[in-house]
Amino acid sequence: MSSACINVSSRDIVEHFELYFKIESSEEVFKVHSLELYIENLTLGNFSFGSIVVDDVVSPVKAFNMSKMEKGEYTLSFRVTGRIVDASNTTHRISESLSTNVKVQEGGVTIGLRIIKESENYKIKIGNIYNSPMKDEDVLLVRASVLTKDDHRELVEAIRENQRLREKLLEEFNSTGNYAYYRSYIDLSYPIRAFADLGRERELTETELKILTLTLEANNAYYSNHTSPNKSYYIVAFSNETPYEFIPKIEGKFQSKLPFVYYKGRGFYPYPVTAVNWITSYFNRRDYEKGIALLNELDSLMEVEELNGERYALFKIYFHYRNSSIPWVSSFSQGIAAGLYAKAYNITKNETYLEKAQLLINSFELKGEEGFVINTTYGTWFLEYNFDPTFLVLNGHIITMKGLYNYYQVTGDERALELFNEGVESVKKALKDCDAGDWSLYSVKGLRASESYHRLHIELLVWLYNTTGDRYFLEYAEKWKEYIEKKGITP
């Protein structure tokens, strides 16, 4: 049964109610090659409905619509069967019985289905429940009302072009069977899905909507002439101005000095961490004009907020990573950017740069979900990935400290020096738990670092020694350098 009409005498009546199912974005979804899930034995309260098929991670699927239904909370029960094919073309069978409570209200709801992996088996769980049955694009257009007329028009055009390109890629896949087109279709769809899910939960800020526009325009420009990279991680530029010759340049009308980072299943995103690395590279070679030009464009990603009367700035990140929610924040970009804006002030004497640097330093006082400074058994730690307080990344912590120290050198702000000194003590206490006996670890008590990160650790420890004069850091740097030599690798 696809619909039902119920006669009730209560005045608390819902005129129209729809229920949708959608696959939620997560780290496991990005590893899925294809899926075919059947939702069967579907009941809402005393009402039963026919089965539906979910075979697309992009679009919500309507389960049923009803009219003249009494408001209230009902039990939704269903069974999920079918298969998931992973990236290695291994088929995993699915069989789950699920239930949850749903509030019946005007419009309807969308039920998120979360794909998780336990041991070697995939499972389906109920995720978020969104009080909106609208299509992703419609959610974004409703939230876009805060934009100016010109910005609104630009977003609408970007959404329409994204839809056109998705339809084209899907048609190519259906006619050729070439999976590259389907993978590109999934990647191109991701920004729409990610921001729409956020828009179902709350209002989107003007900055967030502008970041969405920028992200869509970059993805539209790339997928107009290319399919997804055959890599899990990739960086491209939409400008001839980059600090590295090896970065691929995407030709076209869309131009941006920002680096755009690709992660499989998520398309291309402006990534503040990569951007501050590029600016640092420019500054290190004294190419201040290009560095400041990129820093100016980075402004578009900065969200300024206020808490208890104090303003602060965050570079929020809007793609899922390691099962994070969005947005999330990295101490890496917060710290390094503070130092870069301070340097830009020192070069130009433009007070605007100093104000932005101060706003970023203010963010180090944040607590809760947006915070990225935590107390650990080692002392103060700066989280490169603030969504996981157990993931104490060594290089990210020290690089954050470099930004704080650079800011302090320009401003003399004692807050930054105090944070830096706290970080120094934490590194001293944690180094023993970053040492495997023959190699360094990427994070405290974590996995072994790659060779490039091991070498970076040595470089950062030498910097700490040169900055603090503490030979403890030099001793560890020399010890870790010996690990390289013992493996017969060129130092």
On the question of pLDDT at 67 being above 90, the answer is no
Residue type, 370: E
Q: Is residue 2 predicted with pLDDT exceeding 60?
A: no
Instruction: Point out which residues pair with 13 in neighbouring strands.
Output: 70
Q: Is residue 329 part of a domain?
A: yes
Alpha-carbon distance of 423 to 421, in angstroms, equals 5
Domain boundary among 112, 133, 154: 133
pLDDT at 30 (0 to 100): 87
- E strand or H helix that includes residue 183: helix 179-201
pLDDT interval class at 11 (50, 70, 90): low
Establish if 144 belongs to a structural domain.
no
Domain assignment present for residue 255? The answer is no
Q: Dihedral sign for Cα 203, 205, 210, 216, please.
A: negative
Those residues with Cβ within 8 angstroms of residue 349's Cβ, 6 or more apart along the chain or in another chain: none
The 10s digit of each residue's pLDDT in 79-122 is 999 999 998 899 999 999 999 999 998 889 999 999 998 888 89
- Domain holding 315: CATH number? 1.50.10.20
- The whole domain housing 340 covers 272-434
Residue 26: pLDDT band with limits 50, 70, 90 = confident
Residues 276, 128 share a domain: no
Average pLDDT over residues 248-252: 96
Judged against a pLDDT cut of 90, whether residue 7 lies above it is answered with no
Q: How confident is the model at residue 1 (pLDDT cuts 50, 70, 90)?
A: very low
**Strand ranges, E, within 294-399:** 302-307, 310-317, 328-329, 373-376, 379-382
- Out of 102, 133, 164, pick the residue that ends a domain: 133
Q: How far is CA 301 from the centre of its chain?
A: 13
Are the C-beta atoms of 196 and 137 separated by less than 8 Å?
A: yes
pLDDT at 324 over 60: yes
Q: Quick check: 153 pLDDT over 50?
A: yes
Tokens 């929020």 sit on residue: 316
Residues 129, 277, single domain; the answer is: no
Within a domain: residue 226? no
Phi, psi of 166 (to 5 degrees): -65, -45
Which residues have a Cβ under 8 Å from the Cβ of 114 and sit 6 or more positions away? 24, 26, 124, 125, 126, 127
For 87, the token pair is 């990236």
Q: Domain tally for the chain?
A: 2
Between CA 108 and CA 130 the distance in angstroms is 9
Q: CA–CA separation, 352 vs 342, rounded Å?
A: 10
Indicate the pLDDT class of residue 57, thresholds 50, 70 and 90: confident
pLDDT at 315 over 60: yes
Q: What is the pLDDT of residue 3?
A: 41
Residue 140 lies inside a defined structural domain of this protein: no
* pLDDT beyond 60 at 206: yes
DSSP string, 114-167: EEEEETTEEEEEEEEEES--S-HHHHHHHHGGGS-HHHHHHHHHHHHHHHHHHH
Distance CA 189, CA 332 (A): 28
**Domain for residue 299, yes or no?**
yes
How high does pLDDT run on average in the chain? Answer: 94
Percent of the chain with pLDDT strictly greater than 70: 98
Measure CA of the first residue to CA of the last residue in the chain; give whole Å.
Answer: 70
* Strand residue runs (E) in 289-417: 302-307, 310-317, 328-329, 373-376, 379-382
pLDDT (average), residues 136-158 = 95
pLDDT at 491 over 90: no
For the segment 160-177, the average pLDDT, to the nearest whole number, is: 97
Asked whether residue 6 carries a pLDDT value surpassing 80, the answer given is no
Least confident residue range of 67-76, 263-272, 456-465: 67-76
C-alpha Rg value of the chain to the nearest Å: 25
pLDDT digits (tens, 9 = 90+) for 405-439: 999 999 999 999 999 999 999 999 999 999 999 99
pLDDT of 468 strictly over 70:
yes
In a domain, 343, yes or no: yes
pLDDT of 335-389, one tens digit each? Answer: 999 999 999 999 999 999 999 999 999 999 998 888 999 999 999 999 999 999 9
Let me know if residue 65 belongs to a domain.
Answer: yes
Which of these, 209, 336, 355, 217, lies nearest to 284 by C-alpha position?
A: 336
* Chosen domain end from 92, 114, 133: 133
